[in-house]
Structure 1
Amino acid sequence: MKRLRITAALVAALAAVPAWGQAPPVSATHEGTPPAGKAGGTSVAAKAPAPARAASATLSKANKAREGGDLEGAIGLYRQVVKVSPRQIDAWWYLGTSLYDLERWGDARAAFDHVVRLDKNNGAALAFRGLCTFRQGQYVEALDDLQRARALGVSGNPEVGSVARFHAGLAMTRLSRFEPALNTIGEFALEGNDSPQIIEALGVATLRMPLLPSELPPEKREMVMMAGRGSYFMAMRLAPAARTAFEELALRYPDVPNVHYAFGIFLMSEDADRALKEFERELSVQPAHAPSHIQMAFEYIRRADYASARRHAKDAVTLAPTDFIAHRLIGQIELETGDTQAAIASLEQSRRLEPNSPTVYFTLAKAYARAGRDADAEKARAEFTRLDRLSRLQRNGVTAVGGMTP
């Protein structure tokens, strides 16, 4: 079967999302892909030294081989080019994409490493390197590249950007970063994408399962799809449909971890009293479920019921002592109840646990200002502004889907 090119893969069913267990459907062998590198181009002046002229001729042969579908032949020729001209960015790029198409992830990643070294702001190369790293199971490193690619943008390659964004969401889920995963995958829902792959990915994140969809046991797929539909409707602001989906999920799977929690997250903006009951039900299923305590603390802070908020926030810290949000909540409660020094101590602990959370710096700036530490307050405000801008770049300004976020 003819290899799918990137545009064909996107037009088919799902806009840059692969079938599980298959390679991401990005083939960069189509024309117009190479980035505008700063370190070299495909043309060589007629008066260039003989090795450079030979490299140019070899590059032309490699391009023709690639365009004709002879990827193995093209790879050998591109390797000849970069051996003679190691700063030839187009050769490194096409070497990487050819290897990627053959699913030779390690070699492809090494080629994209060279592209990034030659042009550190090349979003497309970072995206491809992140996709290769994802396929190697190195999700932390993959997520870093995929998020950097998104912040920089993938100029001229929106399809590659979509693939990278989707795999960033999958990596977040695999790393138990469920709220950011829901935000990221939920963006596809906001674009009207209700493909089975999107629904399934949403469902896995909604039920807080640190798995790739390809790792999901078959007997859990129906439940996951129900949860995903609820989150899809939630992202689309279709509250009645979302409520129906989550109610059905809770009725059919009342004893499954995170089902009541997911329903409670939805209810937070619709029926906060019932949301609290769902979080209590989740705690009956999972007594050590810190996220339920965290969400209940958020709600009680909103109601200015600081005694109840403190109880749940302290339970969250006990259950999850390295959860920076739990410490931040304690700090916020102390600040609201007038114990500024205790608030600063808790917020600084939250910052140590997660130095890249804008909200921690926002609350810490308030605490420093209240304590009369004006210089520290100004530094915290500046860091909040920097991190908030970075967060918006990475999230593209899309409203959160997965409950209260950092």
Structure 2
Amino acid sequence: MAAMLIAPSFAIECSTASAQSQGPPAGDSATGSKTFEALAKSADEARDAGRLDEAVQTYSRALALNPKWVEGWWSLGTLHYDADRYAEAALAFERVVALDPKQGTAHAMLGLCEFELGQPERALKDIETSKTLGVLEDKQLRDVVMYHDGVLLQRAGQFEAAKAALTSLCLNGMRSSELAGTFGMVALRMRDAAPPDPATEAGQVVQHVGRGACLSGAKEYEAAKTEFDQVIARTPHFPLVHYAYGCELVDARDIAGAVKEFEAEIAEQPKSVLPRLHIAVAEYKVDSAAGLKYAEEAVQLEPNLPLGHYLLGLLLLDTGAYERAVPELEIARKAFPQEGRIDLALATAYAHVGRTQDAAQARTEFARKKQAEQASAEGTVEITDAMDARSNR
């Protein structure tokens, strides 16, 4: 899947401007203009006729006369990309982006080239930019971009974001061993560059877990449960397999089952913080007193983990332990100054302990951040990579 191609005819539909709309060629002479227009026409004809080497040469000659021709750079980039000449394609798409920074599809194509060139940080940045700007509504391109986005996020340890990217593919009906392998590594929080060999036990576990995670993402929970039941029956001691199943059960709204699997993971790895955090999240507003124990244990095991202090503060707040909640939430606010929901929780805690001025100030901060679209909804708790990358444990 990493080398899926975008057809040249598709690239023309993506173009943002015609040859005539990009200004006169260098020199601005009538002769130069006619020469450029003739070359541009010849390049398009060669491309459409499948004479691709000729098209590349002719586009290059036309662009030498008019380096501001966005469509020409786009066409040249896609021709190089389809021929697996990723370095040349990247240079062309860089010119498109420089001339038209809002061209989301060009950012996506540049990111795909950078992926193939072994430049993961740059690739991830450009693909994430393309998601913000928007790309052409083409299923093939969208699938390729989202898959690569998932791979890059997985390798970067941003597992929640990777899960979101891959889930979108599963919802659209995609099923493949490549997708299962990547999704399996995401669910098991593996940052490897490639899935284990499917012929090995680890490879089989990753495939089963990946298929289960994909089915869960597509809301096919019973089928997902079958995959997880099989892999756990065969390899109950595989690292994080119970954790992965617990996450699937959370998605299926089976909180009791999820807590059971997270507890099983703790039994396998007694010092693991992540399943404890997930139990704390699952029990918040359901049985906060039960979740409190796990949040306290997480903080004891990892005192420098701000997310643990945040969850502990919420659970203390929900169980009426306001005095204890305040310092935990203050630690979280210091670590996550842009999270308005922490201010909201602190406002409640301050009010209950008689710190009315601090409560008013916290409410003001929450309103300001909410207005800036930086605050989260009240009463929701998520374990996200954005809040603390160290929650990978």
Q: TM-score, normalised by structure 2?
A: 0.80
319, 324, 327: which one aligns with 1:342: 327
Which residue of structure 2 aligns with residue 167 of structure 1? 148
The 2-side partners of 1:351 and 1:254 are apart by 36
1:178-257 alignment runs, 5 A limit:
178-212=159-193, 214-218=194-198, 219=200, 220-257=202-239
Listed one character per residue, the Cα deviations across residues 220-249 of structure 1 (whole Å, up to 9, x for unaligned) are: 332222112222332233333222221211
Distance 1:346 1:382, change over 3 A: farther
Listed one character per residue, the Cα deviations across residues 13-32 of structure 1 (whole Å, up to 9, x for unaligned) are: xxxxx2xxx51232334463
308, 318, 323: which one aligns with 1:326: 308
Report deviation, 1:67: 2.6
Report deviation, 1:296: 1.4
SS at match of 1:51: helix
Q: Which moved more, 1:260-269 or 1:120-129?
A: 260-269
Distance 1:351 1:246, change over 3 A: same
The 2-side partners of 1:319 and 1:106 are apart by 47
Which residue of structure 1 aligns with residue 12 of structure 2? 32
The 2-side partners of 1:180 and 1:377 are apart by 25
The 2-side partners of 1:52 and 1:347 are apart by 62
Contact 1:38 / 1:118 at 8 angstroms: preserved in 2?
Answer: no
Distance 1:32 1:97, change over 3 A: closer
Q: Percent identity?
A: 26
Which residue of structure 2 aligns with residue 379 of structure 1? 368
Report deviation, 1:96: 1.1
Which residue of structure 1 aligns with residue 100 of structure 2? 119
Distance 1:300 1:31, change over 3 A: closer
The 2-side partners of 1:361 and 1:91 are apart by 46
Letter in 2 for 1:180: A
Which residue of structure 2 aligns with residue 367 of structure 1? 346
Distance 1:111 1:24, change over 3 A: same
Report deviation, 1:343: 4.7
Contact 2:196 / 2:203 at 8 angstroms: preserved in 1?
Answer: yes
Listed one character per residue, the Cα deviations across residues 121-148 of structure 1 (whole Å, up to 9, x for unaligned) are: 1111011011111222332332222222
Letter in 1 for 2:368: K
Q: Aligned-residue CA RMSD in angstroms?
A: 3.2
SS at match of 1:197: helix
SS at match of 2:336: helix
Report deviation, 1:38: 9.4
Contact 2:340 / 2:365 at 8 angstroms: preserved in 1?
Answer: no
Which residue of structure 2 aligns with residue 150 of structure 1? 131
Report deviation, 1:286: 3.0
SS at match of 1:256: coil
Contact 1:293 / 1:312 at 8 angstroms: preserved in 2?
Answer: yes
Which residue of structure 2 aligns with residue 78 of structure 1? 59
Report deviation, 1:309: 3.7
Letter in 2 for 1:35: S
The 2-side partners of 1:282 and 1:34 are apart by 48
Report deviation, 1:311: 4.4
Distance 1:39 1:151, change over 3 A: farther
Report deviation, 1:177: 1.7
Contact 2:271 / 2:301 at 8 angstroms: preserved in 1?
Answer: yes
Which residue of structure 2 aligns with residue 400 of structure 1? none
The 1-side partners of 2:306 and 2:29 are apart by 58
The 1-side partners of 2:322 and 2:312 are apart by 12
The 2-side partners of 1:236 and 1:304 are apart by 28
SS at match of 1:32: helix
Distance 1:124 1:376, change over 3 A: same
Report deviation, 1:327: 4.2
Q: Which moved more, 1:179-188 or 1:49-58?
A: 49-58
The 2-side partners of 1:321 and 1:68 are apart by 65
The 2-side partners of 1:40 and 1:210 are apart by 48
Which residue of structure 2 aligns with residue 296 of structure 1? 279
262, 268, 287: which one aligns with 1:279: 262
Distance 1:79 1:388, change over 3 A: farther
SS at match of 2:56: helix
Letter in 1 for 2:288: D
SS at match of 1:210: coil
Listed one character per residue, the Cα deviations across residues 80-102 of structure 1 (whole Å, up to 9, x for unaligned) are: 33332221101111121111112
298, 301, 305: which one aligns with 2:288: 305
Contact 2:276 / 2:295 at 8 angstroms: preserved in 1?
Answer: yes
48, 53, 56: which one aligns with 1:67: 48
Point out which structure has higher relative CO (alpha carbons under 8 A, 6+ apart): 1
The 1-side partners of 2:6 and 2:306 are apart by 37
SS at match of 1:302: coil
Listed one character per residue, the Cα deviations across residues 49-107 of structure 1 (whole Å, up to 9, x for unaligned) are: 33233222222222233333343333333233333222110111112111111222222
The 2-side partners of 1:319 and 1:177 are apart by 22
The 1-side partners of 2:306 and 2:32 are apart by 57
Q: Which moved more, 1:245-254 or 1:203-212?
A: 203-212
Q: Which runs of 5+ in 1 are unaligned?
A: 1-17, 390-402
Larger CA Rg, structure 1 vs 2: 2
Letter in 1 for 2:231: L
Counting matched residue pairs gives 363
